[in-house]
Amino acid sequence: MDINIIDLTVHGDSSGKLVAIEEFKDVPFDVKRVYYIYDTESGVIRGKHAHKKLKQVLLCVHGKCTIRLDNGEERKEIQLDDPKRGIMIEGMIWREMLDFSNDAVLVVLASEPYDESDYIRDYDTFLTSIRGK
Ligand code: T46
């Protein structure tokens, strides 16, 4: 499974660091929504769904967490622990987020507004859906 890594440019010096994200330049889509996840309890697994159309870039801007990706044939785990490195998820990928450090802040840039009808929250439905394609 090929995962698109997004390496962002860091502007900074001894006074601190700054990372800017522009649509179609640093991320390959129109950013319609930004959300972030923090204060996660240890042992919690979030996500457990796929999206039909949504494209997203996930960045752990503080602390660390693991993203588990599954395309129905292969599974991969990627640790996010660098505020200048993100991953892009597009297409039918089942995703789970786990192993959050206490201080983790996971920022997500999304190509569409929130739409519950874009989610597939049942794993068997996900498998049926990708195998039908
Ligand atoms: C994803 C992973 C990485 C909203 O009202 N608006 C929003 O934009 C989002 C993302 C969520 N919500 C509500 C829906 C639920 O009542 O927030 C609650 C928690 O959402 P959910 O259980 O879907 O959160 P996660 O962390 O399991 O998944 C989220 C995104 O939903 C999902 O698109 O890919 O982060």
CB atoms under 10 Å from CB of 24, counted, come to 9
Question: Model's pTM, two decimal places?
Answer: 0.96
Whether 40 is in the pocket of ligand 1, judged by its Cβ within 6 Å, is no
What mean pLDDT is predicted for residues 31-60? 97
Whether 36 is in the pocket of ligand 1, judged by its Cβ within 6 Å, is no
Whether 111 is in the pocket of ligand 1, judged by its Cβ within 6 Å, is no
Percent of the chain's residues with pLDDT above 90: 93
Q: What pLDDT does residue 94 have?
A: 98
Task: Please provide the average confidence, as pLDDT, over all residues in the chain.
Answer: 96
65 by Cβ neighbours in 10 Å (0-12 / 13-18 / 19+) ranks as buried
What positions carry a catalytic annotation?
49
List, in order, residues 6 or more apart from 66 with CB less than 8 Å away. Answer: 77, 78, 79, 80, 97, 98, 99
Q: Which residue among 108, 118, 126 is best mutated to probe the pocket of ligand 1, counting the most ligand atoms within 8 A of its Cβ?
A: 108
